[in-house]
Amino acid sequence: MPNAKVLEAKQAAVAALSAKITDSVAGVVVDYSGITVADDTVLRKELREAGVDYSVVKNSILGRAIEGTELEEMKSVLEGTTAIAISKDDHVAAARILKKFADGHENFKIKAGYLDGKTISLEMVDSLAKLPSRDVLLATVLGAFQAPMAAFARAVQAIVDKDGEAAAE
């Protein structure tokens, strides 16, 4: 039986991780074994810049944090070395960065993922990784909205130019 301080620290870690997961929109669980410290540093920097919280976590702590939630089915992958990337705002950032990293590192594996509080398949994580970032998606949508207005403005300008030429003659 662990002493009271150790037990209290573990309970606090479970509560903190559970709160992070609950407040997030997406997350990815990975097996980080076999990567170098330099690679890990580069990965952490990229994730931090994208607003993703990445941390190594004990399997038992993560298991307790997801206990009783819709993410409980992720317990089946909690073995070996485990890290979790949690994103509060961006649904695709963690999946995109970790998938790209996993493609370049043989031992680094994606174990599971979740989106809006529900576990998703590895195929879905791959699909998320292929989506462009939120900013790119917003720019694409705005471009689509702006295109008809720009075409209308060019048509009006062509009419004005044509009428100007006719008046000059």
Burial class (CB in 10 A: 0-12, 13-18, 19+), 93: buried
| Fold classification of 4-131 (topology level) | Alpha-Beta Plaits (3.30.70)
DSSP state of 115: E
Per residue in 129-151, pLDDT (tens digit) is 887 766 776 777 777 777 777 77
For residue 111, what are its two tokens?
């174990």
Span of 22-36, 48-62, 89-103, 130-144 with lowest mean pLDDT: 130-144
Residue 45's pLDDT is what?
Answer: 94
First and final CA of the chain: distance in angstroms? 100
Q: How big is the chain, counted in residues?
A: 169
Q: Whole-model pTM above 0.75?
A: no
> Domain residue spans in the chain?
4-131, 132-169
- pLDDT band (50, 70, 90) for residue 42: very high
